[in-house]
Amino acid sequence: MGGKRRIAILGSTGSIGTQALDVIRQHRDLFEVQLISANTSIDLLESQAREFDVNNVVICDDKLYGELSSRLSGTDSKVFAGTDSLCELVRSSEIDIVVGAMVGFSGLRPTLAALEAGKVVALANKETLVAAGSLVTKTMREHNAVILPVDSEHSAIFQCLLAAQGNEVKKIHLTASGGPFRSWPKEKIAAATAAQALKHPNWDMGAKVTIDSATMMNKGFELIEACWLFDLTPEMVNVVVHPESIIHSMVEFEDGAVIAQMGCPDMREPIGFALSFPARLSVGNKKLDFASLGALHFEAPDPERFPNLQLAREAFTRGGNIPCALNAANEVAVRAFLAGRIGFYGITDLIEKCISGASFAADPSAGDIFSTHEDTMRRAEELI
Ligand code: MG
């Protein structure tokens, strides 16, 4: 890619989207923003369109189209509405890198469209790989597209693998912060409120991933994501709780050597690496001070208090469309927990019921994936 890299950000008003724009803001000479999109946050979308002089702006909720297009009239930005427009625009030859920063299953269709157009996709939307890993990786290979990980753990694994020199990977050590309830007894966790679960000790993220982090479903999803991205079996992925979130993950080789990637927890670092790969950029983050850190701690995850991790591992081992059902049930369960409709372990109960009731498709087509998602969402709502 000569000249400026031309970027599309799907989900530009969320946590990853705003941090991606912050990296770009610091390097306007290297990047230009061609496309941004949001579900409903038109105030922020409007100001991003103006600041970055973005050509194409997509509001997914079409009820807001009129308002946004009148606000941006008189600028160079063209406004579009709906996910279909997004899927069309993302294929443009004016785009080099697509940042997939949408939340949940809604990111799947635009991600597939970008891959079909052979784009480099900087993927933060792990749910697309959880729900449709086989379809997504197959589409990537067929169209010579590339997925670069943005999730901090997977960016870390990717960086460690650059040192592999063709040697086989023995194991991945996927680190987990343990979330806000790491040291809480089970009874106290059972009574936890959404507000308590939303207080993540280390990472500043959106609500969905923060709740997933508290239940450790996030780590289960990341295990599945790692298997698809790096062609691993689930047995090769060891999850280790590391409360400081300084080591972002590790790769172990045949001789027992372990390579770790470290940094202060700040998503701008993996985002910057994906945008500028293989170059490294300054991103305005805090740097590590080992002497003041003093010590790093590690412990095994507790399956009694955090059963969702095992649930995800089992779903991936069963394979087919079962991880898709897992993801759909989790989306409904997290929303219900945030709304105070179910308790913390109600999330696990709901997912278990939905998975055991799902009809199995061993090699799901795109149609199977979308119908599994819809059916499971409906079933989960009924069960609540
Ligand atoms: Mg992560």
Going residue by residue through the chain (384 aa), what tens digit of pLDDT does each one get?
A: 468 999 999 999 999 999 999 999 999 999 999 999 999 999 999 999 999 999 999 999 999 999 999 999 999 999 999 999 999 999 999 999 999 999 899 999 999 999 999 999 999 999 999 999 999 999 999 999 999 999 999 999 999 999 999 999 999 999 999 999 999 999 999 999 999 999 887 777 788 889 999 999 999 999 999 999 999 999 999 999 999 999 999 999 999 999 999 999 999 999 999 999 999 999 999 999 999 999 999 999 999 999 999 999 999 999 999 999 999 999 999 999 999 999 999 999 999 999 998 999 999 999 999 999 999 999 999 999
Q: How far is the CA of 160 from the centre of ligand 1 (A)?
A: 16
DSSP 285: P
Q: What is the pLDDT of residue 206?
A: 83
Residues paired with residue 15 on neighbouring β-strands, in sequence order:
none
- Dist. CA 152 → ligand 1 center (Å): 5
CB 9 within 8 A of CB 21: yes
Cα–ligand 1 centroid distance for 67 (angstroms): 35
C-alpha 361 to ligand 1 mean position (Å): 28
Considering only the C-alpha atoms of the chain, give the largest distance between any 2 of them, rounded to a whole number of Å. 63
CB atoms within 10 A of CB 106: 18
Q: How far is the CA of 117 from the centre of ligand 1 (A)?
A: 27
Identify the CA nearest to 238 among candidates 173, 176, 299, 303: 173
Q: Check if 5-149 and 319-384 are the same fold.
A: no
Distance from the alpha carbon of residue 245 to the mean position of ligand 1, in angstroms: 10
Helix (H, G, I), strand (E, B) or coil at 36: strand
The full set of domain ranges for the chain reads 5-149, 153-265+292-316, 319-384
The pLDDT, as a whole number, for residue 2 is: 65
User: What is the Å distance from ligand 1's center to 115 Cα?
Assistant: 22
Q: Residue 38 has which token pair? A: 């949001």
Asked whether 99 and 122 are in contact (CB, 8 A), the reply is yes
Query: What is the pTM (predicted TM-score) of this model?
Result: 0.95
Q: How far is the CA of 69 from the centre of ligand 1 (A)?
A: 35
CA 311 to chain centre: 19
C-alpha 78 to ligand 1 mean position (Å): 34
For residue 287, how far is its CA from the centre of ligand 1 (angstroms)?
19
- 154 CA distance to ligand 1 centroid (A)? 7
5-149, what's its fold?
A: Rossmann fold (3.40.50)
CA of 81 from ligand 1 middle (Å) equals: 30
Rounded to the nearest angstrom, the distance between the alpha carbon of 267 and the centre of ligand 1 is 9
For 15-39, b where at least 16 C-beta lie within 10 A, e where not — what string?
bbbbbbbebbebbeebbbbbbbbbb
In CATH terms, 319-384 corresponds, of 1.20.210.10, 1.10.1740.10, 3.60.10.10, 1.20.59.10, to 1.10.1740.10
Distance 124 CA to ligand 1 centre (A): 9
- Taking the centre of ligand 1 as the mean of its atom positions, its distance from the CA of residue 153, in whole angstroms, is 5
- CA torsion through residues 293, 26, 204, 265, sign: negative
5 strand-pairing partners:
31
Alpha-carbon distance of 315 to 304, in angstroms, equals 18
